[in-house]
Chains A and B, each alone.
Chain A
Amino acid sequence: MNNSVPVLRIRNLKKTYMQGRIPVHALDGVSFDVNKGELLSIVGPSGSGKSTLLSLIGLLDRPTEGSVFIDNVEITKAKESEAPRIRREKIGFVFQHFNLLSTLTAMENVDIAMRFNGTKKNRRKERAFQLLTMVGLGDRVKHKPSELSGGQQQRVAIARALANEPAILLADEPTGAVDTKTRDVIVELLKGLSEKGQTIIVVTHDMAVAEQTDRIITMRDGMIAGDSGNDMR
């Protein structure tokens, strides 16, 4: 599936937190590329810097040093006022606990992501329905999160993340809160999306998930300890 166009380039990324007076290097010089349509998993023990890496790629946080390029644009140089637009247009987030808005229906939860983009109402409705159908929830569009199972909620979250056709889908432990059967459904869904050309980065603890992805990056102490992509190359 790799057609060798890097969508994401990460160069010497560092993030240092101050814990009291002691600096903690959550990320310590991470560099790698991700090609278009790649399904990449990042694994590693707790505190290895996986989630920090994800939040820097997603522009939820700023690095201490280094750069992140998405579609050849250095997003780490973007002004704070430009961050929302970049998040909307380039990134789709999927979270461990789904993070759906409990007052909104499945349809509205997908719709809301497109609102901030200024997409017209008719177009939003059409696209939300299309995405929910794609994730297999075409008959659940009017249901609220409380009326959906964990797996269904996560599928709504994936539909929402795809709403603005992002360059990269970032999934933080997407199967962390569901049973193994549901996990397989979600992994299949992500694989299917990747085959259609969607670039996906999954952070996971679960090796059963990681093993089904194209490439595995293993993190340890804020650094890359292994990259199956490099091994193959």
Chain B
Amino acid sequence: MFDLIIRSMTQRKMRTTLTIFGIALGIFAVVVMGGMSEHMTLTVDKSLKLLANNIQVEPDGTFGGIGTLDESKIRQVKRVPGVKDAFGVLVTALDPEGGGGGFGGGDMVFGVLPEKQMKDAKLTSGRYLIPGDGYKVVVGSSIARKFNLKVGDELEMKSKRLQRSSSITHTRNVTVVGILEYTGSMFDSAVQIPLDRAQDFYKMENTVSFIYAEPASGTDASDLAKRIDLNVEKVKSKSPEQLRKEIEGQLVIFGLITISAAVLAAIIGGLSVMNTMLMSVSERTKEFGLLKALGAERKTILVMTMGEAAIMGVIGGISGIGIGAIFTHFLNKSFEAQGSALFAITPRLIVIGLLFATILGIVCGTYPAYRATKLSPMEALRYE
């Protein structure tokens, strides 16, 4: 039966090609849009992994952005039973004029205590920060690539302060002492500098953005987060679990928008399959009538037409994924030169794309196939 399907497809080369192209375009959109969404999810995943089991404490009332906490809160957090240790981190945008910061993207500066650096991210060269370091920084892989930095190079930091109606931008060069390897997390776009220097440079003395609390062994992170909220005023604590849920909640909306646009494109591709198959069935009315007269079962005719639609779906799906993968690969390459990748073509995405294309082909082939099986051989043979 397969050979008959292939013949029917190759007989109408132009139409088959256009239909496959339609599906491929739809699946291409699914892959590119999905790849963007997948990349964000992966980044969040890896970032959260690097935060380990720490509870993030932020000022109560900040929503999405970065707020400020007085350092005195660190001592209060430390006193909460079940907290092994707590430390502050100051987070700002590397380029205050360019925006950015937070988990979404953009280059960031992390003011950290040298002894509390995340050492899960390995160094490709140089060293981690050590206590007593002055204006020394450890940079992420994307930053290093973007600014073409080696250990020993200087990096310019900017701070912007509002003074009445105008603002003053201060700049200062800092020395790179270490470069982290690629982690796929937000640390790739981060510059880590000793906390005291960051506070000094940004004129944010005694201030941190977040406090991270390490739970003592055997302490449940969610319970501890609630306990911190009860014991320390005006803070909101989030266990890694809660943090993940919150970020995923934000990503869902982004994912929905991208995916629905892509699905729309794919459905249009599917409609082109339906159109092609309907045309093909009406063109082949006589052929189906003949096959029935020769004793073909309805099932056989169903398999022939639906098989054709499904094969077009599969070929369209594979081409769409292929083109999408190549496209995002080159786009990633060019974005990487500027710092960060944008797309991740995950196995999950490939499976979804392929499945979607096949199902689309089959679903859109069902009605034309049904029409083909309903033809009376008599009527079909008279059809000219």
Interface of A with B (CB < 8 Å)? 55, 58, 60-61, 84-85, 87-89, 93, 95, 99, 101, 103-104, 112-113, 116-117, 160, 164
Q: In the complex, A93→B376 CA distance in Å?
A: 15
Complex interface residues of chain B between 1 and 36 (CB less than 8 A to chain A): 4, 7-8, 11
Question: B290 near A: Cβ within 8 Å?
Answer: yes
Given the known inter-chain contacts A61-B378, A104-B7, please indicate yes or no for A84 contacting B287, CB distance below 8 A: no
A60/B377 in contact, CB under 8 A: yes
B378/A60 in contact, CB under 8 A: yes
List 19 A-B pairs, Cβ < 8 Å.
A60-B377, A60-B378, A60-B381, A84-B297, A85-B295, A87-B293, A87-B295, A88-B294, A88-B295, A93-B293, A99-B286, A99-B381, A101-B287, A101-B290, A112-B291, A116-B294, A116-B300, A117-B295, A164-B295
1/0 contact string of B297-337 vs chain A (CB within 8 Å): 11010000000000000000000000000000000000000
Interface of B with A (CB < 8 Å)? 4, 7-8, 11, 286-287, 290-298, 300, 376-378, 381
A95-B381, A116-B300 known; 8 new pairs, CB 8 Å cut-off, are A55-B378, A61-B376, A84-B292, A84-B298, A87-B294, A99-B381, A103-B8, A103-B11
Given the known inter-chain contacts A101-B290, A103-B7, A103-B11, please indicate yes or no for A84 contacting B295, CB distance below 8 A: yes
- List of A residues within 8 angstroms of B378 by Cβ: 55, 60-61
A160/B295 in contact, CB under 8 A: no
- List of A residues within 8 angstroms of B376 by Cβ: 60-61
A58/B293 in contact, CB under 8 A: yes
- List of B residues within 8 angstroms of A87 by Cβ: 292-295
Residue of A nearest to B284 (CB): A101
Q: In the complex, A112→B288 CA distance in Å?
A: 13
Q: In the complex, A85→B292 CA distance in Å?
A: 10
Q: In the complex, A55→B380 CA distance in Å?
A: 12
- List of A residues within 8 angstroms of B381 by Cβ: 60, 95, 99
The 10 closest A-B pairs by CB, nearest first: A88-B295, A87-B295, A60-B378, A116-B295, A60-B377, A84-B297, A103-B7, A113-B294, A99-B290, A61-B378
Residue of B nearest to A99 (CB): B290
- Shortest CB distance B379–A (Å): 9
Q: In the complex, A175→B136 CA distance in Å?
A: 98
A93/B294 in contact, CB under 8 A: yes
Picked from A95, A103, A113, the residue with its CB within 8 Å of the CB of B295 is: A113
B11/A160 in contact, CB under 8 A: no
Q: In the complex, A55→B11 CA distance in Å?
A: 31
Residue of B nearest to A89 (CB): B295
Which of A101, A112, A164 has most chain B Cβ within 10 Å? A101
- Shortest CB distance A107–B (Å): 13
- Shortest CB distance B168–A (Å): 79
Residue of B nearest to A90 (CB): B295
Which of B287, B294, B381 has most chain A Cβ within 10 Å? B294
- Shortest CB distance B375–A (Å): 11
Q: In the complex, A87→B4 CA distance in Å?
A: 21
- List of B residues within 8 angstroms of A104 by Cβ: 7
Q: In the complex, A38→B4 CA distance in Å?
A: 36
Q: In the complex, A88→B294 CA distance in Å?
A: 6
- List of A residues within 8 angstroms of B290 by Cβ: 99, 101
- List of B residues within 8 angstroms of A61 by Cβ: 376, 378
A116/B377 in contact, CB under 8 A: no
- Shortest CB distance A158–B (Å): 13
A112/B8 in contact, CB under 8 A: no
- List of B residues within 8 angstroms of A84 by Cβ: 292, 295-298
Which of B292, B295, B378, B381 has most chain A Cβ within 10 Å? B295
A112/B294 in contact, CB under 8 A: yes
Residue of B nearest to A113 (CB): B294
Q: In the complex, A103→B9 CA distance in Å?
A: 11
B293/A60 in contact, CB under 8 A: yes
- Shortest CB distance A199–B (Å): 18
Which of A89, A99, A104, A117 has most chain B Cβ within 10 Å? A99
- Shortest CB distance B257–A (Å): 45
